[in-house]
Amino acid sequence: MTARGKFVLTVLILAIAGVGIYRWLLPYMPGQKPAPAAATSPAPKSSGAPGGPSAAKSAKLDVADFVAPQTACPLLPPAATYLPKDNVLDLELSEYPGYAGIVVANGGLDPSENSHFFRKHGFKLRLKLSEEESWPALNAGRIAASATTVDVLTAHCRNFQVLAPLQIGYSRGADGVVVRREIRRINDLKGRTLVTAQFTESDFFIRYLTQEAGLAVHMLGSPSERPAPDKVNLLFATDAFAAGDLFLKELKSGGTRLAGCVSWAPKTTDIVAASNGAAVLLTTNRNLLIVADVLVVNKGFAQANPKLVAGLVEGILEGNRLVRDNPSAHLEVIARAFKWDRTKAQAELA
């Protein structure tokens, strides 16, 4: 290369370097605005998982309203024998129309000499309504009996010292999954979060449905935990009615973390009615004979008092017959016990 060529090449290289240095220093020069950022596509909408745009709405869930999942059989207090007082047996039930026959046979919730149990078998029955899982009280002998479903017995393993002398019936349509209206099938719950109560028929029901749909379940420790994208995620409340209340509360507050709840009637229908169209009943167990309601009796009491247990069983069967044969004749007693009006009682028994 000639001397002139070398000179021209050197000038060209210096010019290119100068332009590069100028462009690099331009944003830092006084009076200069930074270059606009490259155009990007809008960020996708969040599915409600923590950390996304809807994380602020997810924060409306109070961690204190949820309970951590258990991974082993629930611990119960040591077994003790229930001892009746004043010829009165204590039986705890949930607010559920399938137990209406027990209420009718007793003539209400309070002990009475006019009840079928006293007239035919010589003992009185005190009914208490509660949505709490009363298994510690039953195991420890603080109540004589309760009603639950078969799956609950298996979940509590050998810790649960009870006998189940009677199948009260099947929960035909009582258990249900309530979801946001855009969810149309169980498979749409993949990657979403439901709230229910662990070791209850609701827990069993959603596990059955997901299994049939080919989906796995993932238990979350708290609302702040990131959901598994390929599973149906479960948060747990203290009981199934509380689970329904939490879902409805979030719907009304505009939160997006919960996709639905699993509970039972009348809570399921109450949520749909109160949601102003935001929630629907996705499915129930009306045509699935998989949730069986049974009478469970304190084991020590049952072994010591077989005649009283036999009378309890006979009275419940008689109450079921009365409700089945002529439900309208007993609507007032049922409605008063469950604090429903007559119309609601009629609808719940339909």
162 and 194 housed in the same domain? no
Query: What are the residues facing 163 on neighbouring strands?
Result: 297
Q: How many Cβ atoms are within 10 Å of 158's Cβ, its own excluded? A: 6
pLDDT, greater one: 299 or 35: 299
Other CB atoms closer than 10 Å to residue 32's CB: what's the count? 10
Expressed as residue numbers, the domain containing 312 is 88-170+292-349
* Mean pLDDT, rounded, for 326-346: 96
The pLDDT of residue 75 is 86
Q: Please tell me whether residues 129 and 278 are part of one structural domain.
A: no
Q: What percent of the chain has pLDDT above 90?
A: 69
- Residue 51, domain member (yes or no): no
Of 28-32, 224-228, 304-308, where does mean pLDDT reach its minimum? 28-32
203 plus 147 within the same structural domain: no
Pair 93, 155 in one domain: yes
Q: Is the pLDDT of residue 102 over 80?
A: yes
pLDDT value of residue 113: 97
User: In the predicted model, what is the mean pLDDT of residues 100-123?
Assistant: 98
What confidence tier does 36 reach under pLDDT thresholds 50, 70, 90?
very low
Of the candidates 49, 284, 256, the one whose C-alpha atom is nearest the C-alpha of residue 178 is 284
CATH of residue 267: 3.40.190.10
| 194 shares its domain with 257 | yes
Give the pLDDT confidence of 252-293 residue by residue, as tens digits.
Answer: 999 999 999 999 988 999 999 999 999 999 998 776 788 899
pLDDT digits (tens, 9 = 90+) for 181-219: 999 999 999 999 999 999 999 999 999 999 999 999 999
pLDDT band at 159 (very low <50, low <70, confident <90, very high): confident
Residues 274 and 298 in one domain: no
Domain boundary among 238, 256, 284: 284
Count: domains in the chain? 2
Do 264 and 224 share a structural domain? yes
Q: According to the model, what pLDDT value does residue 327 have?
A: 96
Asked, for residue 155, whether it belongs to a domain, the answer is yes
In a domain, 40, yes or no: no
Q: What is the mean pLDDT of residues 148-156?
A: 87
Question: Do 245 and 100 have their domain in common?
Answer: no
* Domain identity same for 187 and 280: yes
Question: Looking at the structure, do residues 199 and 273 belong to the same domain, yes or no?
Answer: yes
Q: What integer pLDDT is reported at residue 40 of this predicted model? A: 34
Q: What is the pLDDT of residue 1?
A: 53
Task: With a cut of 90, say whether residue 171 has pLDDT above it.
Answer: no
| Pairwise CA distance, residues 127 & 224, whole Å | 39
Residue 14 lies in a domain: no
In a domain? residue 62? no
Q: Does residue 129 sit within a domain?
A: yes
- The mean predicted confidence, pLDDT, of the chain is 85
Query: Do 319 and 246 belong to one domain?
Result: no
Residue 133 and residue 276 in one domain: no
Residue 98 belongs to a domain: yes
The pLDDT score that the predictor gives to residue 2 is: 54
Q: What is the mean pLDDT of residues 333-338?
A: 97
Lowest-confidence segment of 49-53, 83-87, 140-144 by average pLDDT = 49-53
| Residue 60 scores a pLDDT above 50 | yes
Domain closes at, from 284, 303, 326: 284
Q: What is the dihedral of CA 71, 77, 82, 85, to 10 degrees?
A: -120
Choose one of 242, 267, 284: the last residue of a domain. 284
Contact 258, 218 (CB under 8 A): no
DSSP string, 210-258: HHHTT--EEE-SSTTSPPPTTSEEEEE-SSHHHHHHHHHHHHHHT--S-
Instruction: Please indicate, yes or no, if residue 60 is contained in any of the structural domains.
Output: no
The pLDDT assigned to 41 comes to 36
